[in-house]
Structure formats: C-alpha cells, structure tokens
Chain A
C-alpha cells in the first residue's frame, strides 16, 4: 500500500498528502502542493478514503478525525 501501512499507520507520502489537504482540497491541487505525480495522489486518496482517513465530496477531499489523529502521531 503506498499510503497506509498494514498496521494502520501512514507512510511518508500518505502523511504528506494528509498534511497537504489542509491547503489543497482537490487531487490536482494536492499534487501541485506535494510535488507527487497526480496518478499517485489519486491512488493514495482512494486508498486513504477506503481506510477512513479522508472523505471525498464532489471531487474535494478533507481529512477525517481519524486521519487527523494519525498525522499528529
């Protein structure tokens, strides 16, 4: 998994995406903000949404409480 480890923690790129979502809500904006390729961001957001770390509404993403806890740890 590129963003979420088997133990539920996030990888470096996952953490960068969660942090980047403070200022960038869309996959495109997040790719620009983090410097990650857009395909990696789309794939990572999909994975983190499945893990309950982000939620998506009409193309805009926000970090869930669970995701925020992971970023702080």
Chain B
C-alpha cells in the first residue's frame, strides 16, 4: 500500500504588519523559548530552508556578523528552520569550525512546522518541506512591524535588514517617515498635512522644513 504524503498544514492566518505577532513556544538551540521572552526587545525572527546548505550558511554568517550592531539597537535574532535540534547544533558547530564564525543567536527546531505555519513561512509553490527566507521584524510590544520574503535561491541583504531596523526605530522616535534608499543621517520625510488649513500653514510657516510642495517636505534630524 502506498504511503499518502502528509499534507502541508492548513494556513489559519498570516501575520500582518501592525498586528500582534503569533505567539509560540518552541524548542531552540538555547532551550525552549516563547515569543513573550522577547518582550521589551525588538526581535528579528527569520527562517531559512535547511541546515547544511550553502546559501543559508552565508546568511547565518551574515546574521552573526550583524548581531553586534543589532544588539546596540536592542534587537535580538531568532532563526528557524524545519530541522531538528541536533541538526542545528551540528551545523552551528560546523560553521564555527569551517568559517571561524560563532552563531550567537538561538535557532528554532520547527520539525512540526508549527511556527513556520503560524508565520506563513512555507510557500507550497516553492517547497512544501522547507521554509522560505522570511524576515519578521517584531517590536518590543510584540507587534509585527515589517516582513520580508525571499525565495529559496536568493540570499538576503544584511545591510537592508539593518537599514530597515534603523528606519523603524527612527520613525518611532521622531514620528517621521523615511524616503527611498534612506540611510541614517539622511533627511527624513515630514508626515503630510491632513487638512487644507494644515497644508497652507505648512508652506507659509518657517518651520525649517525643506518643502517641494505642501505634501512633500523633508527635514534633518
């Protein structure tokens, strides 16, 4: 009798920007961790397709090298793949031996796909057994603030991950938006006026803004 392939778990809901991140309690290389353990810190939860694969190895090295900068910004890293704890431990040790890079962050062993399913990390059109390269930026209150999805074949850009964190934290601190290709030190976008009166005031006021038009103003921080 032929074995029936186990179906991909149904997706009940997906995280949304601005909504609470799905709770989890999961085994990791640093013990059992819950989402609530990260309350008060920013968290980057990221998935990778599989241990002992080359693109993932380059990404893990990249995330490890990024970690000190993230820590300065009160950001923790948490990896995930549909592999066992033992595979994670062996891979982390292998990276240290072959590349002299210590992986300082925990990695979820999501063998039952529970966390990957809750976060929509599995793209069945691409693979039913591996998580895609997803990044969830979760703020200290447990709210999803940004999501990035990359396919299996494309390694992520660590500079962009850091830039995204900087942009989100700048927005929170200064109540501004950040333009395309913004980097720390660049001018930021002043939120546009929401009434006609405010629009007229925006153009007439000497507020130090650099305005191209009533809706398009920048300022230095």
Contacts and interface: CB of A to CB of B under 8 A. Distances in A.
A9 interface: no
Nearest to A44: B31
A40 interface: yes
Contacts, number: 30
B31 A1 contact: yes
A47 B31 contact: yes
Interface residues of B, number: 11
B38 interface: yes
Size class of the contact patch on chain A: 10 to 19
Contacts of A39: 33, 37-38, 41, 76
A64 interface: no
Interface in B35-53: 36-38, 40-41
Contact of A2 (B31, B36, B41): B31
B219 interface: no
B40 A43 contact: no
A55 interface: no
14 contacts: A2-B30, A37-B76, A38-B37, A38-B38, A38-B40, A39-B33, A39-B76, A40-B30, A43-B30, A43-B32, A43-B33, A43-B34, A46-B32, A47-B32
Interface of A: 1-3, 28, 37-40, 42-44, 46-47
Q: Which 3 A-B pairs have the closest CB atoms?
A: A2-B31, A39-B37, A42-B37
